[in-house]
Amino acid sequence: MNDFENWLPYKLVKEDGMLRFYWFNTYGQPFKEPFFEETISLCRTKELRNLLHPSVSDYNTMLDWAAAFDEIQPSAIIFHISRCGSTLLSQMLATSGDNIVLAEVPVFDDILRLPFKEPVIDETETSKLFVAALRYHGSKDNSYKNTKKNTKQVFIKTDSWHLFFYSQLRALFPLVPFILMYRTPDEVFRSHRKQPGMQSVRGLIEPQIFGISTSDVETMSPDVYLASVLENYLSTYIKIIANDKLCLPINYNEGIKEILAKMGAFTHMKISRADLQKMNDRSMYHSKKPNELFHEDEIKTIPPCLAKAMQLYEQLEDIMESKIVNSQYPI
């Protein structure tokens, strides 16, 4: 691979005892799909040869090639507890040609979770890999040797369980604003029961990431497991906002336009009047189905297993109200 332009690593796997990165050509495709996996699928179907004969590199070569790209400092990293507006927010940001939005990039997840699959790999190594992968994905138009004067605003929307890699990501990006999106646990719970996400299904994500022991998982019902995941999301948020002034928690129930305005104020984001109109237009439609108008589900009863999660949510809301009163966060 002599020409880096438009090529990105999209998957990290272990084959024949070796860690390898798989690559794909973006063909200049902008990152506008709700999830980065969809962008990958669009690009890979453009050339059948890449499906039959994939482009693969070893672990160290990926790191070496990354030196050809400028260092990337994200404009903000968006954390979330899932089903709380983060996909729609990232879709709104992606309507602007001034933004590169990296929404749940699979290779970022492969890298962060690597120590759970390969214990010999430590956090220092995965941090090095994460920074390298970001250089490829966050470069303007994915072009070789970018000039900083043309650099776009880069936003990372994490997978929800990446919240538990907060300390590692904060160490990598000490001056980057972190956005912490959340929602009432019962609404998140019902959404996952209607359409399960990876974090809601036992065994798809290592339970240790959520602070749940393997032995406990075996005795948990699916509902109790999901409730425990939500509890750990919210308790982690509470711990973070107690110590990190560069974190902004935002409740989904504030409304997506208000969320965008609050995030813009907190991160000093540049939004032109034309871009703001495009973002507001996008906000009217379903986050994952851009052609469907959005509507809220009807309110239903709260299951008993969510009692602790609901208490943590109320505690988080009390903390937020106190901070707003003391002018620590934008209103």
With residue 194 as reference, give the H or E element that holds it.
Answer: helix 185-194
The reply to whether 79 falls in a domain is yes
For residue 38, pLDDT over 80 is answered with no
pLDDT in tens, 120-178: 999 999 999 999 999 999 985 444 344 344 568 999 999 999 999 999 999 999 999 99
The reply to whether 33 falls in a domain is no
With residue 136 as reference, give the H or E element that holds it.
Answer: helix 123-137
Distance between alpha carbon 175 and the CA centroid of its chain, in Å? 18
Tokens describing residue 306: 């969510």
The reply to whether 330 falls in a domain is no
Mean pLDDT of the chain: 87
Distance CA 331, CA 320 (A): 10
For residue 278, pLDDT over 80 is answered with yes
DSSP per residue over 216-279, as a string?
Answer: HHHH--HHHHHHHHHHHHHHHHHHHHTT-TTEEEEEGGG-HHHHHHHHHHHHT----HHHHHHH
Distance CA 326, CA 233 (A): 25
- Residue 278, domain CATH: 3.40.50.300
**Among 51-55, 151-155, 324-328, where is mean pLDDT lowest?**
324-328
The reply to whether 53 falls in a domain is no
For residue 78, pLDDT over 70 is answered with yes
In the chain, which ranges are E strands? 7-15, 18-25, 55-58, 76-80, 99-103, 153-157, 178-182, 247-251
- Look up tokens 């990190």; give the residue: 244
Residue 108: CB atoms within 10 A of its CB come to 23
What pLDDT, on a 0 to 100 scale, did the predictor assign at position 142? 47
Q: What is the average pLDDT across 258-272?
A: 93
**Among 14-23, 25-34, 188-197, 204-213, where is mean pLDDT lowest?**
25-34
Provide the residue range defining the domain that includes 96.
Answer: 70-325
Q: Is 326 strand, coil or helix?
A: coil
For residue 324, pLDDT over 80 is answered with no
For residue 39, pLDDT over 90 is answered with no
What pLDDT, on a 0 to 100 scale, did the predictor assign at position 325? 52
What pLDDT, on a 0 to 100 scale, did the predictor assign at position 104? 93
What pLDDT, on a 0 to 100 scale, did the predictor assign at position 287? 56
What pLDDT, on a 0 to 100 scale, did the predictor assign at position 7? 86
What pLDDT, on a 0 to 100 scale, did the predictor assign at position 11? 92
The reply to whether 152 falls in a domain is yes
The reply to whether 11 falls in a domain is no
In 50-127, which ranges are E strands? 55-58, 76-80, 99-103
Q: How many domains does one find in the chain? A: 1
Q: What is the average pLDDT across 187-215?
A: 94
More confident residue, 175 or 285: 175
The reply to whether 288 falls in a domain is yes
Residue of 174, 155, 186, 185 lying closest to 78 (CA atoms):
155
What pLDDT, on a 0 to 100 scale, did the predictor assign at position 303? 93
The reply to whether 174 falls in a domain is yes
Residue of 161, 297, 313, 180 lying closest to 235 (CA atoms):
313
What pLDDT, on a 0 to 100 scale, did the predictor assign at position 61? 93
Residue 71: CB atoms within 10 A of its CB come to 10
**CA–CA distances in Å: residue 309 to residues 119, 232, 271:** 31, 8, 36
With residue 109 as reference, give the H or E element that holds it.
Answer: helix 106-112
What pLDDT, on a 0 to 100 scale, did the predictor assign at position 25? 82
Distance CA 263, CA 270 (A): 11
